[in-house]
Amino acid sequence: MNAAVTPDLPTNFQLLLDSGWKSKTVKQEMKSNLISMLEKSSEVFPGIVGYENTVIPEINLAILAEHDMLFLGEKGQAKSRMMRLLVNLLDEWIPYVDHVDLPVHEDPIRPITSLGKRIISETDPSDIPIAWWHRDQRYAERLGPGTKFADIVGEIDPGKLTSGISLGSEEALAFGLIPRMHRGIFAMNELPELDDLVQVGLFNILEERDVQIRGYPIQFDLDIAILFSANPATYNRSGKVIPQLKDRIGSIIKTHYPEDRQIGIEIIQQEVGEDLSGNYPVHVPHFMYQVMEEITVQARKSKYIDHASGVSARFSLANFRTVVASARRRSILHQETPAVPRISDLGHLYSSAVGKLELDMMGTHQMSEKQVLDAVIAEAIRVVFEEYVDEHGLGAISEIFSKGYRVEVGDLLPSSAYAERLERIPDAWKLAFEVNAGENEAIRASCVEFVLAGLYCTDRISRSQRHGKIEYEI
């Protein structure tokens, strides 16, 4: 095994003993480092938004209790991200016996393999080389579907048998991922999709921390923190997870979608912030952020969409990036800066949304995915527009479009085209939005489209669509 070694760390067992280094289990490491971070009020889960008062406290309790954990929630609720962030609670470096024939990263103080024990007991400490394992390398994960017993537990190695090694000895084994992650963290995603035989192997590891392969028990004192993730719809289904395995999981951490729209917007801004800069920078009016996240909110509420499947946060992010891409294309074609997303850019969401929504076949009444998405988008626009009407008074703006105006919009129309269709900009523009719609043609075009779409979605004006362009009229 090879690992990066920093100059100031001991390079043999005797130097390690002289340094006063103390051996700790993985869960003791996590617990000790969490306590230290909590004492300093350090951020334990950077980049996780909306879980400060719900999920994160439960994770902290599970770590303090030294439990294995199951993250239970629908898709797109940051389960995998939080599991990977737990690596930050490990010590930055840990020592191991640097020997080519050792199958695991042996703790010099507490070796678990027969070879490791022999090396420590029969070799002068000054002659036992020590290398160092970084915490970033101490995490591994697998996806449940298709995972075999040999993948994560192990298998008997025929090559070793032919060399004369006894069938019942540990030297005859080819270790799977879990034994090789001794002194690390192992995560299994989609636990209910695991074969029953593999679940039995995990149960044995959780219960006894040893390995049994093809009926040959190998007594290992495995030191490992095991994490799982699952969707409630499958985890709670009878027969998907064996009861003995459920009983051995110390803590269940229930995740959830953002509890309000603003948290969802913060997640979008965090994930795509850097994407808005560059040669063609993008300025996103707040109402467009609101509409984009409200589309996801309405999708999660829709009777046409399977609630058991959920609507992932990736749905929001993919849709937002599509809208930004559409605005940026328009900016490039017409040399307009900044690029400002409009409601007409939502016409491209089918490419990013298809496949991310699972329809409820009992409730759709033969509606296509495109029709369901159209209905969800329209409802999102209506909800956000009515908030602006109530909070900012768009009456003066609405009145302009009630005097027989006919306005054509489209994702490829230059912003100047909107100015030509509107003879004057009411003072209400400056009051209704967080941006001044009178100061920039691209921003004004976005505001105009939002008002028009809102009036249409609240049945105040009519709309016709042809060749990718939309025409609103009274």
Task: List pLDDT tens digits, range 434-464.
Answer: 555 556 888 888 888 888 888 888 887 777 7
The residue that leads in pLDDT, 54 or 168, is: 54
pLDDT of residue 395: 62
Same domain, yes or no: 205 and 277: no
> Is pLDDT larger for residue 20 or for residue 462?
20
Is residue 4 in some structural domain? no
Residue 5 lies in a domain: no
What is the Cα–Cα distance from 320 to 273, expressed in whole angstroms?
Answer: 11
**pLDDT value at 160 more than 70:** no
- Ranking 42-56, 121-135, 297-311 by mean pLDDT, the lowest is 297-311
Residue 394: the pLDDT is 61
Do 268 and 402 reside in the same domain of the chain?
yes
Cα distance between residue 173 and residue 454, in whole Å: 66
Q: Are residues 216 and 278 in the same domain?
A: no
Percent of the residues in the chain that have a pLDDT greater than 90, as a whole number: 50
What pLDDT score does 244 carry? 87
Q: Mean pLDDT throughout 427-437?
A: 56
Give the domain range for residue 94: 13-254
Q: Are residues 144 and 236 in the same domain?
A: yes
Q: Within a domain: residue 398?
A: yes
The answer to whether 411 touches 326, Cβ cutoff 8 Å, is yes
**Is residue 365 within 8 Å of residue 436, measured between CB atoms?**
no
pLDDT of residue 175: 80
Name the token pair of 448: 């105009």
Do 26 and 100 lie in one domain? The reply is yes
Instruction: Over range 210-220, report the average pLDDT.
Output: 64
pLDDT of 90: 97
Of the three residues 254, 285, 312, the one that is the final residue of a domain is 254
Angle at 15 between CA 9 and CA 20, to 5 degrees: 85
Asked if pLDDT for residue 364 goes beyond 60, the answer is: no
Same domain, 57 and 206: yes
Residue 198 has a pLDDT of 86
Is the pLDDT assigned to residue 425 strictly greater than 70? no
Of 130-134, 146-150, 213-217, which has the strongest mean pLDDT?
130-134
Please determine, for residue 219, whether its predicted confidence score (pLDDT) is greater than 80.
no
CATH of the domain at 246: 3.40.50.300
Domain count along the chain: 2
Question: How much is the pLDDT for 155?
Answer: 76
Which of 66-80, 132-146, 270-284 shows the lowest mean pLDDT across its residues? 270-284
Phi-psi region of 164 (alpha: psi -120 to 50; beta: other; left: phi over 0): left
Quick check: 361 pLDDT over 50?
Answer: yes
Inform me whether the pLDDT recorded for 138 exceeds 60. Answer: yes
For tokens 């298809």, the residue is 354
Say which range, 1-5, 42-46, 103-107, 236-240, has the weakest mean pLDDT. 1-5
Instruction: Tell me: do 177 and 298 sit in the same domain.
Output: no
Question: Is 8 among the domain residues?
Answer: no
Residue 2 lies in a domain: no
Query: What is the predicted pLDDT for the residue at 14?
Result: 96
- Give the phi and the psi of residue 295 in degrees, each rounded to 5: -60, -45
The average confidence (pLDDT) of the chain is 85
Residues 189-214 as b/e (b if ≥16 CB within 10 A, e otherwise) read bbbbbbeeebbbbbbbbbeebebbbe
162 and 279 housed in the same domain: no
Of the two residues 434 and 60, the one the predictor is more confident about is 60
Q: Kindly state whether residues 70 and 164 are assigned to the same domain.
A: yes
E-strand ranges in 67-183 read 69-72, 93-97, 130-134, 139-143, 154-156, 173-175
Q: What does the alpha-carbon distance between residue 120 and residue 128 come to, in Å, rounded to a whole number? A: 8
With cut-offs at 50, 70 and 90, classify the pLDDT of residue 213.
low
Under the banding of pLDDT at 50, 70 and 90, the label for residue 354 is confident
The pair of three-digit structure tokens given for residue 442, joined into one six-digit string = 């691209």
197 & 331 share domain: no
Q: Are 17 and 25 in contact (CB under 8 A)?
A: no
Do 326 and 362 share a domain, yes or no?
A: yes
- By CB atoms closer than 10 A (0-12, 13-18, 19+), residue 306 is middle
What integer is the mean pLDDT of 352-375? Answer: 78
Instruction: Read off the pLDDT of each residue in 75-83 and give the average, rounded to a whole number.
Output: 93
Rounded average pLDDT over 7-24: 92
User: Of residues 220 and 127, which shows the higher confidence score?
Assistant: 127
Q: Given 230, 254, 278, which residue is the final one in a domain?
A: 254
* pLDDT score recorded for residue 306: 83
- Tell me which of 254, 287, 305 is where a domain ends: 254
Same domain, 190 and 323: no
